[in-house]
Structure 1
Amino acid sequence: MDNQWQHTTVLLNEAVASLLGAADLGNADAAAGTYVDATFGRGGHSRLLLSRLAQAGRLVAFDKDPEAIACAQAIADPRFSIRHEGFAHLGQMAPASVAGVLMDLGVSSPQIDNPGRGFSFRFDGPLDMRMDTTRGESVAQWLAGADVQQIAEVIRDYGEERFAGPIAKAIVARRQERGAISSTAELAELVAGAVKTREPGQNPATRTFQAFRIFINAELEELQQALDASLRVLQPGGRLVVISFHSLEDRIVKTFIAHNAREAFDRRAPFAPPKPMRLRAIARIKPGANEIAANPRARSAVMRVAERTEAA
């Protein structure tokens, strides 16, 4: 496994402590249930979790990235298993069988820093951006056939980019004149020419690259599916811990927890008893100053913690 591109796990200790909850970490009988690392990445959370689990504990990890799967093969622990699929497949696990679910969203440093993956405008490489390089179409392939309206909608909806229209028109004009865009450098240069103003310190291509990555990997749709699945697989008292890195993700997580942390009334049956709350919000945690100084990529992270209630 090539360790050229390293990854620093964000909120490592805080996430594991929140996931295990009230378990006595010094007790051999504690943390003996099944836990899920829904986004293995390079395994920072998984390795710490395994060090805290009892011998009877079990850790199931998910990841779409073949490089992450290869990294996971180095973990020779019989309590650990990994699935090469997205965390939306969490729902395939048995109902009420899981003691905790951890989701560390976003892109890992090795994905960003490897030019061959095409996630970053800082390096020239193929315009790919797929989390799973074994299936689906790349950003370059999608841009080769998408029209102005489709491209603008993606940039606006997933990147919250106010210059979505001009960027989309520039992409299609470039395609008509010289063929499809195939590299990250080409895209970044084109976007820079279409974006007239930008926040100080932010590259003009930041929002567009984010938008294409989220879209091509269906990240927000899969997140919603995984959150819904977590309610089915978590046992009463089980913890849900989600680390997000931008407002679109955090808004979905925040809304999901808030919606399920209150009683639900059926307007069609006003005298029927309300459906009980299914989650209890526990905490909202951000990285401290020391972590941000050591790892600037942690600065936008928000971790939300909730607990499954006794309600069915």
Structure 2
Amino acid sequence: MSIRRMLATTAALTAPLLLAACGGGGGGGGGLGVNTPLDQVTFLQIYNSSNTYLSRSAGGGFQSTISSPNTTNRVTVGANYSQFRVQAETVSSFTAPGAMDRTFLAGDLVATVGDTRVYQNTDGTLNYEWRVRLPGRDADALPEHVAFGRWTRADALGNRDTGFLVFGQVAPGTDVPAAGTATYTGVAEGVRDRAGFAAEALTGTSTVAVNFGTGTANLTIDFTGSPFGATITGTSNDVTAGSSVFSGTAAGGGYSGSFTGNFFGRTDVGIDGPEEVGGVFRLINATDFVYGGFAGEQ
């Protein structure tokens, strides 16, 4: 159980003052605040996202690029997870000339495995999939205000574009302090693409240790129990008071690359900094890639 959940009783004593300071500021209008858990969204809510993606050709050649956070990278969530509109920038694409933009409805749900939902549909030319790992509030180890998913679109020849989107209630910069420390623990998922091999799905754990005073964040993603069989470590030196975004370098298993992260939720009683963190990563070894997303909470 997280520290913030253990302190729920104590926090209730000061909740009226805290909530008064937190009202509004949601990503999609309607006054939804960053204290609202994702499973309590009651209308269409837009979340801008970071995105990392890989495009692969049917002939085995493929390429990987990290796109910048912007309004073309976003997830629109319907009330009670009734729908997801997934929009992702695709700088280079093998399957279609434009950016990814697909809506998945309740009828597109083909599987539920634990906290992961798998949606699939087609436009007759391309097949689309959205695998989203959603928080089950107080019922699992996942954070409440951030989630991530993997989108894929593929044609009949085996060409595909795919990538990870991390989305949720981004913390206001004013909640990122200039002192104190925080450790965020949670989950990570990824894909390893190697020439001549089928894509391998990766599942593991994540830890982000932040020192707000020194402006550093150390990322650890443990994929030792997955086909990757290694731990990824990363370091950021640009955690800045007043800013909810940070980035750094990462390496592991003979691969090296980078990651980007955001803080999510609000600062709770008894902790330093926002409640949660989430981000995306991409590593390369020659022409092979490991990429994915992570999310954690204090």
Q: TM > 0.5 between the two?
A: no
Structure 1 or 2: larger strand share?
Answer: 2
Larger Cα-atom Rg: 1
Flag the structure with higher helix content. 1
